[in-house]
Amino acid sequence: MNIFFAIAFYFAAAVMTLGLGHKVFQYWSTPAPFRIPITPAPSTLPGVVLRMMAEVFLFKSLFKANKWIWILGWVFHASLVLVLLQHIVYFQKQPAIWIYQLQPYSQLAAYPLIICLSGLLLRRFLVDRIRYISSPSDFIMLFFLIAIALSGLLMMLFWQPNVFAVQQYFTGLLRLTLNPLPNHLLLYLHLLLVVFLLLIFPFSKLLHAPGIFFSPTLNQADNARQKPHRPSKTRFDNNG
Amino acid sequence: MANREYTVPQLFKHIETPKIEPNSMQLPGPFKAKSNHQQTLGFPSELIDNWQQNAIDAMGQAVNQSRGLRVFLDSCVKCGACTDKCHYYLGSADPKNMPVARQDLFRNVYRKYHTPAGRFLSKLGLDWLIGGQEMNRSVLDDWYNYYHQCSECRRCTVYCPYGIDTSEITMAARNIMSQIGVGQKYSTEVISKVYQVGNNLGLPEAALQNTLEGLEEDIEEETGIFVKLPLDQVGADILLVAPSADFFAEPHVDGLIGYAKVLHESGISWTFSSKASEAANFGLFIGNEDSMRKIALRIREAAIDLGVKRIIFGECGHAWRVAYNYLETLAGPFDFLDKNHPMPQHICEFTHDLIQRNQLTLDPSRNNDKTVTFHDSCNVARASNMGGISGGQFSIPRDIIKAVCNRYVDMAKDTIHGATFCCGGGGGLLTDDLMEVRVKGALPRMTALNNVVEEQGVTHMAAICAICKSQFSKILPVYGMDMDMIVSLHQLVGTAIILTGQKKTIHQKIENQHRLL
Ligand code: SF4
Ligand code: SF4
Ligand code: SF4
């Protein structure tokens, strides 16, 4: 299992980085032929940055659209960030003190994480409009996330693997050395699902993460009068 | 392909989100383009052989040329936030009119042929997992039908967490369909007329001249003042580009009279152009950059030929979008114009400025027979600005109305400004063969209007979009309201304005007189 997960994680990390890198390059290098910000839009760059931050951190448009989706989606993402931050301990030999200070919150965040994911899943089943637009992959994605979160939570609560050994294993991987991974079924499951998630990241709707920053309706300024939009015909010109 | 029987939706107090009724709007779509019009636009005259592969290739090309399209196709998480935001869904309950489902008609084909995941899973026969869809006849039929049930209004975009713009996908799909020989009759016909005659309606220069002279007489009869409506006057300061419907349709023409009075009072010389006698740009609707550019260039050429210093656009929603955001890109630079004026201007900006500087004599009591509300046209509201101030596209028209009318009321908050509902006839749908779509799509706007009529005694709704005005004058009676309720914003201005030297009494007599034309 040591070697299997080592190979799997190296491979997944490579696919994820290269895949995402390629996608970001593609977004960046595809020309934006016209100015299409959704107005009212800010007319300056700082304004655009602010608008983007409101979308990325607060999900502002979603808030306007639908309070249920907003609360489920926002709490899910916020919890995910807290939980992921906690995972830094597995990649640093001497993790920073704030990570430990965050620990109690991160542990608590596992619950809203699972609750919100289940809520989103429930909506997908119950609301006729959302059921209609869902593909199998949309359900599968939620099942995966729930399985990852649940396996993590169960480990934390009832069946802890040797955390120190896990830390040794991953810090080792970062230094290209192979340490033993604890023999622990739930851990294996958790890691396997994560590997899979990393692998599909650049090929799935998870691309919304880099995508939002390139969305011309949000990232263009409303200043066509002062700064006419003249994309050159080359692929490498942006905003103009 | 005659219109089928359908029931007009009932007006309730609230705009309800209906339960989905799959395929309830499965129709043949609008009339297909005639082969001569297709050819005029440079498209094949009928469905070409091997159209599947051509469509797939064109799709790849479109995505390579548009960052927006690429990001929009990749980023949707199927959250469902947009599902109840489209007026066509709200009015028809057909789930394919939910913005995300409309996008998916395109996205599912794109996924299968143009994404690594789709190609890989297709080999395993598992592309259904991600909704992969083969390009076939029934997909094409769905495209043609449902991409002509989208007015490209971008209301869905406002609510999407990633700003996914369904209208960009609609435009791309229409452009691909044109390229494989399946164009829409209405839009291609209109564009052909612009190429051949200079405006959407095919009004030749002589007819235009006649109309303008008739209007001059009308104004003189009404006010006792001769107001010149100049055509092709070389050396004028301002070129006024109005949508051609303004020259003859009701209530558009009353708006045109309003512009003329305002321009007359400004003392600045101005002119129409017979070459650029059309503000609208239907190239936008069919998503075709070449047509858009060709139409836009006419305006540039006219401005140069006439040697004008400024260009002002009349009341037309998408024309203003193109003028504001696209014109420089398509036909610029406009460096021959006067640097002191933003290029180009909206007639509302011009009028607003004159009002602010107290250059117009206005008597708002002349509009005392009306309680007015304002319909934010979506292309003005969500795709442009006025006055260079944030939200100027909302405040400037309202400020003008308030200066010329004593009673003004807004419709419900979630139906105005950036959240405005389309009239139901925009984006190339203003054709009789799409009547059912237009009627159903108007439901949210009609609901909001009906509420202010019943609760606040609103008698008129002003608009600044030629398409909106035509659509409303058709649709209002369908919903049991009076077609004269819809007025041009500049019609209100024209009524309130007292021209220099005008005797007030003459106006009063004529006011109720029915004006033909
Ligand atoms: S652009 Fe407007 S008409 Fe088209 S799907 Fe979105 S809301 Fe509906
Ligand atoms: S709101 Fe945006 S992300 Fe959500 S389903 Fe609609 S298009 Fe997709
Ligand atoms: S016709 Fe008017 S309301 Fe409808 S899409 Fe155009 S601007 Fe919007």
Contact B20 A132 (CB under 8 A): yes
**% of chain B surpassing 90 pLDDT:** 91
Phi, psi of B197 (to 5 degrees): -115, -30
The mean of the pLDDT values for chain B is 94
Domains by residue range for chain B, with CATH: 39-183 (1.10.1060), 191-496 (no CATH)
B75 Cα: distance to centroid of ligand 2 (angstroms):
8
User: What's the DSSP call for residue B273?
Assistant: -
* Local structure of B201: helix, strand or coil: coil
Question: Tell me, what's the pLDDT at B517?
Answer: 39
Residues of B in contact with A62 (CB under 8 A): 79, 81, 159, 161
Question: Tell me, what's the pLDDT at B504?
Answer: 64
Domain ranges of chain A: 44-213
CB contact A215 to B (< 8 Å): yes
Ligand 1, atom 5: nearest CA belongs to which residue?
Answer: B99
Residues of A in contact with B19 (CB under 8 A): 128
Contacts 24+ apart (CB under 8 A), A19-23: A19/A201, A19/A202, A19/A203, A20/A201, A20/A202, A20/A210, A22/A202, A23/A202, A23/A207, A23/A210, A23/B74
- Rounded distance between C-alpha atoms, residue B514 and residue B517, angstroms: 10
pLDDT at B446 over 70: yes
B512 or B362: which carries more pLDDT confidence? B362
**% of chain A surpassing 90 pLDDT:** 90
Question: Tell me, what's the pLDDT at A239?
Answer: 40
- Rounded distance between C-alpha atoms, residue A108 and residue A111, angstroms: 6
pLDDT at B108 over 60: yes
- Rounded distance between C-alpha atoms, residue A212 and residue B164, angstroms: 9
A173 Cα: distance to centroid of ligand 1 (angstroms):
49
pTM for the model stands at 0.94
Ligand 2 touching residue B100 (CB < 6 A): yes
Q: Are A45 and A231 in contact (CB under 8 A)?
A: no
pLDDT at B515 over 70: no
Q: Which of B258-262, B331-335, B495-499 has the lowest mean pLDDT?
A: B331-335
Task: Please choose, from the candidates B421, B427, B429, B319, the residue with its C-alpha nearest in 3D space to the C-alpha of residue B375.
Answer: B421
Q: In this complex, which of B67, B159, B164 lies closest to A30 when CB atoms are compared?
A: B67
pLDDT at B2 over 90: no
State the average pLDDT over residues B422-429.
Answer: 97
pLDDT at B514 over 60: no
| Pocket mutation for ligand 1, best pick of B25, B76, B84, B88 (most atoms within 8 Å of C-beta) | B88
Over residues A3-18, the pLDDT tens digits come to 999 999 999 999 999 9
Contact A228 B70 (CB under 8 A): no
Over residues B499-510, the pLDDT tens digits come to 999 876 544 444
pLDDT at A130 over 90: yes
- Rounded distance between C-alpha atoms, residue A85 and residue B229, angstroms: 69
User: What's the DSSP call for residue B310?
Assistant: E
Complex ipTM over 0.90? yes
Over residues B145-185, the pLDDT tens digits come to 999 999 999 999 999 999 999 999 999 999 999 999 999 99
Question: Tell me, what's the pLDDT at A195?
Answer: 97
Over residues A45-92, the pLDDT tens digits come to 999 999 999 999 999 999 999 999 999 999 999 999 999 999 999 999
pLDDT at A233 over 70: no
* Local structure of B212: helix, strand or coil: helix
Task: Please choose, from the candidates B153, B164, B156, B393, the residue with its C-alpha nearest in 3D space to the C-alpha of residue B284.
Answer: B153
Question: Tell me, what's the pLDDT at B505?
Answer: 52
**% of chain A surpassing 70 pLDDT:** 96
Instruction: Give the dihedral of Cα atoms B375, B380, B386, B391; nearest 10 deg.
Output: 70
Residue B387, C-beta contacts closer than 8 angstroms, at least 6 positions apart: B349, B352, B395, B396
pLDDT at B479 over 90: yes
State the average pLDDT over residues B77-100.
Answer: 98
Question: Tell me, what's the pLDDT at A226?
Answer: 86
Over residues B53-71, the pLDDT tens digits come to 999 999 999 999 999 999 9
Question: Tell me, what's the pLDDT at B516?
Answer: 40
Residues 37-76 of B with CB under 8 A from A: 63-68, 70-72, 74-76
Ligand 2 touching residue B79 (CB < 6 A): yes
Question: Tell me, what's the pLDDT at B204?
Answer: 87
Of the bound ligands, which one is closest to the alpha carbon of residue B376? 3
Question: Tell me, what's the pLDDT at B342?
Answer: 73
Fold of the CATH domain A44-213 = Fumarate Reductase Cytochrome B subunit (1.20.950)
Q: Are B121 and A135 in contact (CB under 8 A)?
A: no
Task: Please choose, from the candidates A19, A75, A76, A80, the residue with its C-alpha nearest in 3D space to the C-alpha of residue A204.
Answer: A19
